[in-house]
Structure 1
Amino acid sequence: MAEQKLELHITLYPMPDGMYLATCAEIPPCQILRQNKEHAFTDARKFIKQFLEEREREGRPFTLPEIRTVQF
């Protein structure tokens, strides 16, 4: 049986001080602040991988949250 792949979203925010904040909408604890965009992205990917592996080890499967788009 093939392993199911998750599609998650990493958003990169430039901060006023030149740092970058990387977040994952589907995993709210993922908030990574780094000096450049690529480090923020790479470390967010590492955080997500570790988060998902820990959940699996603990027998707590990860289910995607409901995300809605709104317009203002």
Structure 2
Amino acid sequence: MLRAAAQVGGGDPDEVVSQWGAAHPIGRVGTGQDIANAVLFLSSEKASFMTGEHVNVDGGYMALGAWATAATD
């Protein structure tokens, strides 16, 4: 999806993916497999005691919010 958006915007898809990946604490953009792994876990017996949970599959990107930068100021 990110590659397609880069192409529509006239950018280099590999460069856009690299830039977005560098912005993530994990150092890369997510893949469909990352989402599938979370879905498989949540649908497995290993998650049987979880109810109504919000799960971020974002490579730590949410941790870069305003509260995170305010803590380092």
TM-score scaled by length of structure 1 = 0.31
Higher helix share: 2
Higher strand share: 1
- Bigger relative contact order (CA 8 A; separation at least 6): 2
Larger CA Rg, structure 1 vs 2: 2
TM-score scaled by length of structure 2 = 0.30
